Amino acid sequence: MPLLTVTTNMEIYPDHQEQILIKLSAFVAQLLGKPESYVMVQLQSGQPMLMGGTNEPCAHLRLKSLGLPEDSTEGLSTALCDAITGQLRIPANRIYIEFANPARHMWGWDKGTFG
């Protein structure tokens, strides 16, 4: 159910990518209180990106999850920024985050939906 997509202009080497994905997967499961068996994490590195007119390290995150607590997005933002800053050393002011809480029937898995 939870999907975290991290897109960054930083080039991350493949051996480091797997370590980052493993840490972020466990982090998202813990953060949202969901089983890690349902968590998906995607890392897109080396993407052409500018933020504030510069190509200094930056990231765009998308966190989508059924039942995402919309009244908790500020805390989620803090936690995600801290995680990305810790893993990729991207400053929090160079990170944008999109949150999405789709309707259960709009999220497909295993030949069906969660609705």
Q: Note the pLDDT of residue 6.
A: 98
Q: Note the pLDDT of residue 1.
A: 87
Taking only the tens place, the pLDDT of each residue in 38-53 is 999 999 999 999 999 9
115 pLDDT higher than 90: no
Enter the tokens of residue 28. Answer: 């998202």
48 vs 15, 21, 98, CA distance in Å? 21, 21, 19
The mean pLDDT value of the chain amounts to 96
Q: Has 35 been annotated as catalytic? A: no
Q: What DSSP string describes 64-88?
A: E-TT--GGGHHHHHHHHHHHHHHHH
Taking only the tens place, the pLDDT of each residue in 4-45 is 999 999 999 998 999 999 999 999 999 999 999 999 999 999
CA neighbor of 62 nearest in space, from 105, 5, 1: 5
Place of tokens 């893993």: 87
Cβ-based burial of 77 (10 A; exposed 0-12, middle 13-18, buried ≥19)? middle
